């Protein structure tokens, strides 16, 4: 299934460190052409500062022959862009009215569409650009006149892709980015979603990490993509060595970077998600408030779109779970601290030293119990103040009940075992329900009976009822209204199901040991189930949640892309195909995505009256802050977008 990238909000960019010879314009120009010709899947290339001449020419910049040769090469490269349907931004010296400027030239469609001069010139021991170049602050003209053609000239230029107007490009040059108030900030608030930096950054100890951090930070601050192309080791090594460290960042994350210290040309390519950047700006009022009244000239350019089956960027199937083990452990520690601190604060505020929690032996209630135990430890409270209640019913298996009871006792909490069988059967008799009919009434009566017990015991002991439901269940509405949906403080409300399992496993490794750790590992291996239907004859769990609603792995992927990134269904499907490869068929992805949208819209009423609970990540569905959605909103628009995909998948 191929797509046009711009139709899904992506644009492909390349940052290049070309092979270079100092003052050899013909060679340098040939190397630039070679990079483009050998990269047919990329249509936009950013090259380093003064790449036509090399940055380290020194007093050779005073030679008119060098500057004139660079101008002729620039015209030739502009013609080359038409032949190969590409866009290039290259660094070159430009002579104008008796001054020399360090510039970036924007080439596309056979033309030099604009020239941007450098604003801030370094004047240090390593660099003394003021010896050769003038600052853009010295400009008096807004145009260059070359071969009877008027070319926009200045720092007030923005370049807009004709096929994708949200792809608006701003340019700064090297030192500009290292100042206290970089021009890229002004370009971003003027609307630029992609910021380009043509650089000649020498390599020193620690410089690589600093450079990477600077690029990441500027892309995050500007809610933009930031492309940094740097000169390589072909530059003069008289006093400095240049490594050719070029990077592509998007909203604080590095998407691609070149290898350093290579004499051959290096190219890093990534697909920038322009749509995501625009969506981030929609939500960020600080970005809107930072806008200033400034006049920028906007120049349209003919961006060539790319057709692809896969985007050149990492699409993880578990967006809530870091792939690196050390980062995952750090994330689990942070989340656990947020959960325990949130509960501890609520206990302090209410002045109670008792808590009530229903445990089933499943993942969610186990995590909630661990949070409660550590919150009590944090406050110096006796763990015996935690009233742990297991309530076996028609579907409870010996495995889950045994794990719940053993865990409660080993953790030093006070365990109660209260069977709900008799109470639920009496309720069936009261409302006239046939126990042999295993419908929604049969299931929800058990869930609500358990909540009634928990609430009343909380009143009985003067304690706080701790909720166990997680973020994924809330997204799908997979909870019983006024049953497990309700509590006095819900510690898992910001934790998706895919992350709950990792948190429990992390607790088994990092927070507990011995028999407790072994039980926690078994809980992680237990299938997700509400255990509301009778088990198989062999005692194994019969009711498996994911058999009914689909894999939580997929639903959490959809949840992140719908709520955090605001993507349309067709784009989510395209990314899901890349993330899950052969693991799921196109039909499985479509069916589960439709299930997600139908349930997400129809179950909003449950999220509209959630109990308090801590936010732990960028996605949360609390009606008091992060997700404010009417309960009667229609899903028709999103389902129709999905319907359009059915024909495409069928044809494939």
| Residue 446: burial class (beta carbons within 10 Å; 0-12, 13-18, 19+) | buried
Contact 105, 90 (CB under 8 A): yes
How many angstroms separate the CA atoms of 320 and 397, rounded?
30
Under 8 Å between Cβ of 532 and 543: yes
Please state, in angstroms and as integers, the Cα–Cα distance from residue 215 to each residue in 209, 234, 331, 406, 422, following that order: 10, 23, 23, 51, 64
Alpha helices by DSSP H, 351-470: 363-379, 398-410, 421-431, 440-461
Residue with tokens 């040309």, as numbered in its chain: 265
User: What is the rounded distance in angstroms from the CA atom of residue 550 to the CA atom of residue 539?
Assistant: 23
Cα end-to-end span (Å), the chain: 7
User: Rounded CA gap, 280 and 476, in Å?
Assistant: 24
β-partners of residue 87 are 44, 108
As beta bridge partners, residue 89 has 46, 106
Q: How far apart are CA 184 and CA 171, in angstroms?
A: 7
Q: H or E segment at 151?
A: strand 149-152
Q: Are the C-beta atoms of 233 and 242 separated by less than 8 Å?
A: yes
Contact yes or no for 526/361 (Cβ under 8 A): yes
Rounded Cα distance between 412 and 388, Å, is 10
Cα–Cα distance measured from residue 229 to residue 220, given in angstroms and rounded to the nearest whole number: 18
Taking Cα atoms as reference points, which of 621, 628, 495, 476 lies closest to residue 554? 476
Q: Which of 115, 109, 107, 102 is closest to 143 using CA atoms? A: 115
Q: State residue 59 phi and psi, 5-degree precision.
A: -70, -5
Q: Which of 157, 245, 187, 193 is nearest to 11 (CA)?
A: 193
Q: Are 48 and 88 in contact (CB under 8 A)?
A: no
Phi, psi of 133 (to 5 degrees): -115, 155
**Are 153 and 171 within 8 A, CB to CB?**
no
**Helix, strand, or coil (residue 489):** strand
* Active-site annotation, residues: 49, 118, 174
Distance CA 294, CA 38 (A): 40
- C-alpha 633, offset from chain centre: 26
Closest-CA residue to 244 (of 218, 268, 262): 262
Question: In this structure, are residues 160 and 113 in contact, taking their beta carbons and an 8 Å threshold?
Answer: no
CB 184 within 8 A of CB 195: yes
Do 228 and 246 contact (CB within 8 A), yes or no?
Answer: yes
Spatial distance between the Cα atoms of 420 and 548, rounded to a whole number of angstroms: 24
* Measured distance CA(390)–CA(402) in Å, rounded: 10
């Amino acid at each position: 299934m191929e797509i046009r990238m711009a139709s899904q909000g992506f644009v492909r960019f390349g940052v290049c460190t070309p092979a270079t010879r100092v003052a050899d314009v013909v060679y340098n120009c040939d190397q630039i052409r070679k990079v483009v010709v050998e990269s047919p899947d990329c249509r936009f290339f950013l090259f380093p500062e003064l790449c036509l001449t090399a940055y380290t020419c020194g007093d050779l910049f005073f030679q008119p022959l060098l500057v004139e040769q660079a101008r002729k090469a620039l015209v030739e490269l502009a013609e080359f862009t038409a032949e190969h349907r590409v866009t290039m931004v290259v660094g070159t010296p430009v002579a104008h009215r008796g001054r020399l400027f360090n510039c970036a030239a924007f080439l596309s469609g056979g033309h030099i569409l604009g020239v941007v001069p450098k604003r801030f010139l370094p004047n240090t021991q390593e660099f003394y650009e003021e010896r050769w170049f003038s600052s853009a602050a010295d400009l008096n003209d807004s145009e260059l006149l070359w071969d009877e053609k008027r070319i926009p000239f200045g720092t007030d230029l923005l370049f807009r892709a004709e096929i994708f107007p949200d792809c608006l490009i701003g340019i700064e040059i090297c030192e500009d980015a290292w100042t206290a108030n970089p021009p890229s900030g002004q370009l971003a608030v003027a609307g630029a979603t992609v910021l380009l930096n043509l650089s000649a950054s020498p390599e020193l100890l620690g410089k690589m990490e600093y450079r990477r951090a600077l690029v990441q930070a500027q892309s995050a601050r500007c809610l933009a993509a930031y492309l940094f192309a740097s000169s390589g080791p072909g530059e003069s090594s008289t006093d400095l060595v240049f490594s050719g460290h070029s990077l592509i960042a998007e909203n604080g994350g590095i998407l691609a970077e070149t290898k350093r210290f290579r004499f051959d040309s290096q190219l890093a390519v990534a697909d920038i998600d322009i749509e995501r950047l625009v969506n981030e700006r929609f939500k960020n009022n600080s970005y809107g408030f930072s806008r200033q009244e400034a006049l920028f000239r906007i120049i349209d350019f003919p961006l060539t779109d790319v057709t692809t089956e896969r985007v050149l960027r990492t699409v993880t199937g578990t967006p809530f779970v870091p792939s690196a083990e050390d980062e995952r452990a750090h994330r689990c520690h942070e989340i656990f601290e947020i959960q325990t601190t949130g509960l501890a604060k609520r206990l302090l505020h209410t002045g109670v030293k008792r808590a009530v929690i229903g445990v089933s032996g499943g993942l969610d209630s186990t995590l909630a119990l661990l949070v409660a135990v550590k919150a009590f430890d944090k406050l110096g409270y006796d763990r015996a103040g935690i009233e742990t209640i297991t309530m076996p019913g028609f579907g409870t298996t010996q495995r889950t009940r045994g794990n719940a009871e053993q865990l409660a006792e080993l953790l030093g909490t006070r365990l109660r075992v209260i069977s709900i069988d008799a109470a639920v059967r009496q309720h069936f008799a009261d409302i006239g329900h046939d126990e042999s009919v295993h419908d929604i009434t049969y299931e929800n009566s058990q869930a609500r009976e358990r909540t009634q017990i928990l609430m009343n015991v909380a009143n009985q002991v003067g304690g706080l009822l701790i909720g166990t439901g997680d973020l994924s269940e809330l997204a799908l509405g997979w909870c019983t209204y006024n049953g497990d949906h309700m509590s006095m403080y819900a510690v898992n409300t910001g934790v998706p199901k895919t992350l709950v399992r990792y948190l429990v496993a992390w607790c088994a490794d990092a927070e507990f040991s011995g028999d407790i750790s072994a039980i926690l590992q078994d809980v992680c291996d237990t299938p997700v189930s509400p255990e509301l239907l009778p088990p198989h004859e062999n005692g194994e769990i019969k009711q498996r949640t994911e058999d009914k609603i689909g894999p939580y792995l997929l639903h959490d992927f959809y949840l992140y892309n719908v709520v955090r990134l605001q993507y349309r269904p067709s784009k989510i499907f395209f990314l899901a195909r890349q993330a899950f490869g052969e693991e799921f068929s196109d039909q499985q992805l479509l069916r589960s995505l439709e299930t997600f949208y139908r349930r997400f819209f129809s179950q909003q009423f449950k999220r509209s009256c959630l109990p308090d609970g801590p936010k732990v990540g960028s996605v949360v569905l609390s009606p008091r802050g992060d997700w404010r959605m009417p309960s009667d909103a229609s899903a028709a628009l999103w389902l129709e977008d999905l319907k359009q995909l059915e024909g495409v998948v069928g044809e494939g």
